Amino acid sequence: MSRRRAPSSPRTSARTDDETPPRGLTAVTTRIRALILLLSALVCFAIVTTGGLAYNHYAIHYGTHGWSPPEVAFLFHYLLFGATAVLLLGAALDLAVGRRLTAGFDRLATLSSRSAWSITTLVSVLVFGLVTISRYGLLGDTAITDDENVYSFMARTFASGRLYLPSMPEPVRPFFDNHFIINDGKWYGMYFPGHPTLLALGERVHLMRWVPTVSATVTVPLTFAVGRRVFGQRAALLALPLLALSPFFILSSATLLAHSTAGLLLMAFLYATLRVLERPERAAWWLAAGLALGWTGLTRPLSAGAFAFPWLVLLAMSLRRRAGSRAWAGPALFCLVGAASVALLGAYHMALSGDPFTSGYHTFGRKVGLSFTQGALVAPAPYPSLFELGYTLARLNFWLFGWPLSLAFLPFFRRTRDGIALLLAPAGVVLLFVVTTVPSINVVGPVHYAELIAPLALVSASGIEELAQWVRARLNASAGRILALPIAATLCALVLYTPLYVGSLSATAGVARAPYDLVEAARRERAVVFVRSIGALDFPPWSWAYFPRNPSPDLTDPVLYVRDLGEPRNRILIRFMPDRTPFWMGIRDGRLVLVPLAQ
C-alpha cells in the first residue's frame, strides 16, 4: 500500500520563494549589487586607460584627414569597454537612485512654464561659462584652423565698411597671399558673408571673439522652445543637459568657425516655422522664418537648403489646405525675403569676382588648383560617398555627446510630423556632403555638421523619453533603467573621452600659438616676419592652422606676418616697409626659430 506524500506546509512552500539565502550565506543586498556593478565599470575604465600604454597614449593627430592608428585603438577600446561600462554603471545607478530618476522624469512634464524657463536660463549660463573656459583655458583664444584666420580677416574688412581691400602693389602683393585668401587685385576671403557679417558687428564694439559664445548661449533657449513645440516640455528639458555637456557643441562654439552662427540661425528658422505651422495667418512669423533661413543661406548656403527642405515641404502642404487671398500674404513675404537673400549673395559674388555664380570657393580653387574634395577616398563612385558616410556617422557617434554610442537613442524618437522633419533636416545635410564627397576635417569634431548638434540633441532626448515610457508601459519595469544610461554615458565621457580630446586640443592649440608666443617673447614691435613655416605639421599633434594670421585692413598690426619668398625678393618688401624691423621664421634643427634679418 503506497503512502501518499503529505502536502507541504505553507511555511515550507513559502520558503522556496523567499529571497533569504540559506543559512551560512550572506545576503546580496541592493547596495552590494550596485557596488559590484560599479567596480566592474571601473575595471572597464581601467582597461581603456591602460590600453593607451601600448598605443602612444592614444595620441590624437590633427592637420591631416582620416584616423590615426592610436585614435583608432582608443575608439575601439572605448566602443567595446566604454559601452560595457555604461551598461554596468547604468545598472548601478538604477539600483541606487532609479526611483528618484523616475520621479524626476515624471516631474519634468508637470513643471510650470516659469520653472522650465528658469532651468533653461541656468543651462544657458552654464553654456556661456563652458564655452568661455574652453576658449581661454583650452584654446588660449587662438585660431586652430586657417578658416578662423580668414573669418577674422573678412570681419575686420567688413567692419571697415568694405567688402574687399585693394591688393598691395604688384611687386609686394605675393607676400600677402595666404590660405583661403584671394589676392588678385581685390583682397578678400573666400567664404560666404553671413558669418563674417555677424563677426563684424562684434568687431565694431571690439567683441568679435565673443560672437560665437553669445550665439551658442542664445541657441539654448531656442532649442528648448523648439523642443517643447515638437516633443513636449519633458523632452525639451532632457535635451538641455545633452546640449550643454556635448563636447562637440561647446568646443566648436569656442572657435571662430561659422557653425555657431549657422546653428543659431537654423534653430531660429525652426522656431519661426513651427509658429507658422501653428498659425499660418501670422505674417510676422513668415518674415522671421525667411530672415533666419536667408541669413543661414548667406552663411552656409548648401547646408541651409538641405536642412530647410523637409520644413519647406510642410509649409507648402499647409498652404494647400488653406484658401483665400490673405493666405498668401505671409508666404509671399517669405519668398520675397528668400529671393532677396539669393540676390544679395549673387551681388556679393558679383562685386568680388564679376560673376554672380562664381563664389570665393570657385575663384580660390581655380587660382591655386585646389579641389575641395581633396582628402576624399580615391576610388570609383559610389565608394567615396560610402566612405564619407561611414566616416561621418562614426565621428558623429563619438563626438555628439562624447558617449561610446551617442546616436543610440535617435531611432526611438516620437514619430510625429514635426519630429520626422526634425530628423530629416540634419539627415539631408549629411547626405549632401556624402553625395558631394567633400570630406569633413576633424578639429573639434566633424565640423561640417556642428550646426546640427541642437536638432540631434532634441531627437535624442525624445528617444530617451519614448524608450523610458515604453519600458515602463510594455515591460512593467522601472523607467530608471533607461534614464540611468545617458547619465552613465556622460560620466563615461567625462572620465575617458573628454579628457583625451581636450588634452590633444590643448596641445594642438599650443602648436598654433607657438609662433606668436615666440614673437611676443622677443618683444618685437613694428616688425615684419617672413614666414617659411609656423610648424603646423612639424610638431605633434600638429595643427590645422598651416599659415600665419592675416593682417588688419589698415596694416597697422605691431607685427606683420608675410610669406618668405627668398632672400632676393624679401629685400623688395624690406625696402617697401623701411619702418619695420625684418625677421625670418621657420624650422631649424627641429625647432621653430625667429631670426633677425639685416635691413
Sequence-distant (≥ 6) Cβ neighbours of residue 503 within 8 angstroms? none
Per the structure, how many domains does the chain have? 3
* Dihedral of the alpha carbons of 445, 447, 448, 452, in degrees to the nearest 10: 70
Q: Please tell me whether residues 36 and 56 are part of one structural domain.
A: yes
Q: Please tell me whether residues 280 and 306 are part of one structural domain.
A: yes
Q: Locate 159 and state its grid cell.
A: 567692419
Q: Which tens digit of pLDDT belongs to each residue from 529-556?
A: 999 999 999 999 999 999 999 999 999 9
Q: Please tell me whether residues 490 and 412 are part of one structural domain.
A: no
pTM above 0.95, yes or no: no
- For residue 212, what pLDDT is reported? 98
- Is residue 148 a part of any domain in this protein? no
455/252 Cα distance (integer angstroms): 16
Sequence-distant (≥ 6) Cβ neighbours of residue 195 within 8 angstroms? 151, 258, 261, 262, 299
Q: Which tens digit of pLDDT belongs to each residue from 310-338?
A: 999 999 998 877 755 567 889 999 999 99
Q: Please tell me whether residues 319 and 454 are part of one structural domain.
A: yes
> With a cut of 70, which residues of the chain have pLDDT below it?
1-27, 323-326
- For residue 38, what pLDDT is reported? 96
Domain termination site, one of 499, 532, 551: 499
Q: Please tell me whether residues 450 and 407 are part of one structural domain.
A: yes
Q: Please tell me whether residues 388 and 431 are part of one structural domain.
A: yes
- For residue 328, what pLDDT is reported? 83
Percentage helix, strand, coil for the chain under 3-state DSSP, each rounded to 5: 65, 5, 30
- Is residue 214 a part of any domain in this protein? yes
In terms of residue numbers, what domain contains 61? 30-110+478-499
531/525 Cα distance (integer angstroms): 16
- For residue 26, what pLDDT is reported? 60
- Is residue 524 a part of any domain in this protein? yes
CA angle 201, 204, 210 (to 5 degrees): 65
Q: Please tell me whether residues 332 and 459 are part of one structural domain.
A: yes
Q: Please tell me whether residues 428 and 484 are part of one structural domain.
A: no
Q: Please tell me whether residues 79 and 56 are part of one structural domain.
A: yes
User: Which one-letter amino acid corresponds to residue 366?
Assistant: R
Q: Please tell me whether residues 557 and 543 are part of one structural domain.
A: yes
- For residue 104, what pLDDT is reported? 96
Q: Please tell me whether residues 65 and 214 are part of one structural domain.
A: no
